[in-house]
Amino acid sequence: MSLFRKPLLTTAGLVAGAVLACSAFAADISGAGATFPYPIYAKWADAYKKETGVGLNYQSIGSGGGIKQIKAKTVTFGATDKPLSADELEAAGLTQFPMVMGGVVPVVNLKGITPGQLVLDGRTLADLFQGRITKWNDAAIAKLNPGVALPKTAVAVVHRSDGSGTTYNFTYYLGEVSESWRVNVGVEASVEWPVGIGGKGNEGVANMVTQTDGAIGYVEYAYAKQNKMTYTKMINKDGKTVAPDADTFAAAAANADWSKAKAFRLILANQPGANSWPMTAATFILVYKQPEKTDDVAAALKFFDWSFKKGSKMADELDYVPMPESVVKLVEASWTANIKDKAGQPLWK
């Protein structure tokens, strides 16, 4: 069951980490992985089942778990916020494609501080998560927040405990802006955290931050928005202060050239642009190029196509950024070229 007092995903009436639809239907689609896109996958699943009768059984277990499950062939698709390299995809017989974009946001629990009131920059954020800043009234934070009454509360860092694409994108950004982070901690889906306590999934981190005075963590924006969490603004690569929302995520994604990204492997963190949110990220789907259960994969592709074509408004409502039509065309062309039955015929035409 979800650790939240209130369900994260009231649109689907579901619990995080569980199924997105009743598994009684033989045609239900199975997937597992990233918690970053779980809110929008749940919303899409609910609408898709109402329209088609086909459900989606999706385990929100983190990107690392999704990669393991697809490689073990226990699900029809895996979901990850850390795109695999072309070599890793080839070795496993997989193909990947982006599904939707969103933003990773720092969230805090500080008495007297309201959502968007606190401003951080990348270096300060890295110092907080390295334990170099231990009090919220530290001079580095005060300098970024003139006129804000900062509490003397001790900083309580909350991070992911599981292999996480959200962590990968978060640490990628910190590695871009802090040499100390890059050298001492690194960029990966799972790192040796210098300080803090771990929570499983975006849900677990959000819950721990909510319950811990002085906490700071990082979650996908939909979790912060739906649970009315106190997020921070950020100073981006252009030196501008920006708030997390669909517009700033879209601004960061505007310069992304997916046509030149081998195997669609593209990182959107720390993009230039006055309005760009610095921790923007895409989330990806993994399927086998030559699946054993072709009907299952064909059904999954129909769901993804429906989500691309009819799910944009729902994505907007949760402050995700739908993939542009030009990218959808590239993605579906890759389905035709890469995903085939045992006779070598495309599953998508």
**213 and 298 in one domain?**
no
**184 and 67 in one domain?**
no
**Which tens digit of pLDDT belongs to each residue from 159-217?**
999 989 999 999 999 999 999 999 999 999 999 999 999 999 999 999 999 999 999 99
Report the C-alpha gap between 75 and 92 in whole angstroms.
Answer: 15
- Helix, coil or strand: residue 220: strand
Nearest to 122 by CA among 227, 213, 241, 298: 241
- At residue 349 the predicted structure's pLDDT band, cuts being 50, 70 and 90, is confident
**Which tens digit of pLDDT belongs to each residue from 80-117?**
999 999 999 999 999 999 999 999 999 999 999 999 99
Q: Which 8-state DSSP code applies to residue 135? A: B
The answer, yes or no, to whether residue 26 has pLDDT greater than 90, is no
**Which tens digit of pLDDT belongs to each residue from 229-246?**
999 999 999 999 999 999
Whether residue 347 lies inside any domain: the answer is: no
Look at the block and give the residue holding tokens 């960029």: 187
**158 and 211 in one domain?**
yes
What's the longest Cα–Cα distance across the chain?
A: 68
**138 and 35 in one domain?**
no
What rounded mean pLDDT belongs to the chain? 92
One-letter identity of residue 121: D
- At residue 255 the predicted structure's pLDDT band, cuts being 50, 70 and 90, is confident
Whether residue 134 lies inside any domain: the answer is: yes
**306 and 180 in one domain?**
no
**189 and 108 in one domain?**
yes
Whether residue 274 lies inside any domain: the answer is: no
- Helix, coil or strand: residue 58: strand
Q: Where in the sequence is the domain holding 204, given as residue range(s)?
A: 104-255
Mean pLDDT of 7-14: 35
Whether residue 263 lies inside any domain: the answer is: no
Whether residue 4 lies inside any domain: the answer is: no
The answer, yes or no, to whether residue 16 has pLDDT greater than 60, is no
**328 and 186 in one domain?**
no
| CATH code of the domain in which 67 resides | 3.40.190.10
- At residue 27 the predicted structure's pLDDT band, cuts being 50, 70 and 90, is low
**Which tens digit of pLDDT belongs to each residue from 291-340?**
999 999 999 999 999 999 999 999 999 999 999 999 999 999 999 999 99
- At residue 226 the predicted structure's pLDDT band, cuts being 50, 70 and 90, is confident
pTM, 2 dp: 0.88
Could you give the residue ranges of the DSSP H alpha helices within the chain? 38-52, 63-71, 86-92, 122-129, 139-144, 165-177, 179-184, 201-211, 221-226, 246-253, 294-310, 312-317, 325-338
Report the C-alpha gap between 45 and 135 in whole angstroms.
Answer: 43
Nearest to 61 by CA among 79, 41, 23, 34: 34
